[in-house]
Amino acid sequence: MAKPAEAVVEDQTTDSLPDEGVDGDKLFLRQLKEEEIRAKLDEFAKELARVKDLRDAH
């Protein structure tokens, strides 16, 4: 009989970039950088969808 696999659960309470010990300016700059990355990812996703639509049309 097969042994059941154990579930791996990641701790959702920890942030990949913890805010503890970060001064206001560094936190603000990090938030701006995160917004910039999200905007670039959104733009990339839209371009990917456009290319997929073009490819599917052929």
Q: Domain extents for the chain?
A: 22-58
Split at pLDDT 50, 70, 90, the class of 23 is confident
Instruction: Quote helix, strand, coil % in the chain, to nearest 5.
Output: 60, 0, 40
Mean pLDDT of 6-32: 73
Dist CA 17 CA 35 (whole Å) = 14
What is the pTM (predicted TM-score) of this model?
Answer: 0.54
The pLDDT, as a whole number, for residue 58 is 77
